[in-house]
Amino acid sequence: MARAPIRVLVVDDDFRVAALHASIVDAVIGFETVARTGTIAQAREAVATVGEVDLALVDVHLPDGSGVELIRELRCDAFVVTAEDSATALRHAVTAGAMAYLIKPFENTDLARRLAGYAQYRRIVEVPTVTQSQVDSAMGAVRGERPQASRAPEVSQTEKAILAAVAGHDGPMVADQIAEAVGISAPTARRHLAGLVADGRLEMALRYGTTGRPKQEYKIVNPA
C-alpha cells in the first residue's frame, strides 16, 4: 500500500522564495505542497482550509508577526527557513519546536536532502515504541546525518543492481532510467533509492528544466 504524501505548508513573505521552496518540496518524492502563504494570518487560514499539515517551512520574519510564534501554534512538525542568523533566533526556534534551521541562501539540494531526511525520520518512528538506537537514527536523519546502524550493512540484490547501474552510467540518472535499467517498477526504484540516499551510498540532486517540476538525479557517493 502506497504511503500518503507528506503534506507541507510553505510560509514566506517573498513570493518568489515561497514558490522556489514549494517547487523543491514537490520535486522530492513523497511530498506535496498543500498551501503557500506570505503571512501568519494567511497560514492560519490555509491550515483551516486544507486540513491537517505534516510539515511547515516557516520564515522567522513575517509582515504580521514572528514565524517562531506561528510554529508554537501549529500542530505539525516545522523547519525554520530564514535569512536570520542570530543565535537568539535559533534558540527561540528550537524552543518553539523547530526540527531544523536553514539559513538563506542555501543550495536547493540542501533543502531537498533535509526533506529526504525528514521522510526517513517519519519511517523510523512509524512504530508504537522506539529503542534508543532508533531515536538516534531518527533525529540524525532530520539533521542530515548518515545513519550508522539503522539498516543492515549489506544491501539487497535489488540495491546492488541499482548501485551497479548508477555506477556504470555516464553521468547522473533519474529514477525512471534506473528502474528501466534494473528491470523494476518506478515506485520500487524510488523506494530503494530513498534508502540508498539515506544510507549515504547515493547522492541526490535536483535538475531543473525549462518547464515542469525538477527531476531528482542520483549518482554514486565518492565514485573513486
Contacts of 9 (CB under 8 A, 6+ apart): 33, 34, 35, 36, 37, 43, 46, 47, 50, 53, 55, 56, 57, 74, 76
Mean of all residue pLDDT scores within the chain: 87
pTM above 0.75, yes or no: no
Distance (Å, rounded) from C-alpha 166 to C-alpha 173? 7
What pLDDT shows up at residue 14?
94
Q: How many CB atoms lie within 10 A of CB 28?
A: 23
- 6-32 pLDDT, tens digit per residue, is 999 999 999 999 999 999 999 888 899
Mean pLDDT confidence for 50-58? 95
**CATH code for 152-224?**
1.10.10.10
The residue that leads in pLDDT, 125 or 216, is 125
For domain 6-107, which architecture applies? Answer: 3-Layer(aba) Sandwich (3.40)
Task: Name the residue ranges covered by the structural domains of the chain.
Answer: 6-107, 152-224
Residue 145: φ, ψ to 5°:
-80, 150
pLDDT > 50? residue 152:
no
The span from the CA of 207 to the CA of 171, in Å, is 12
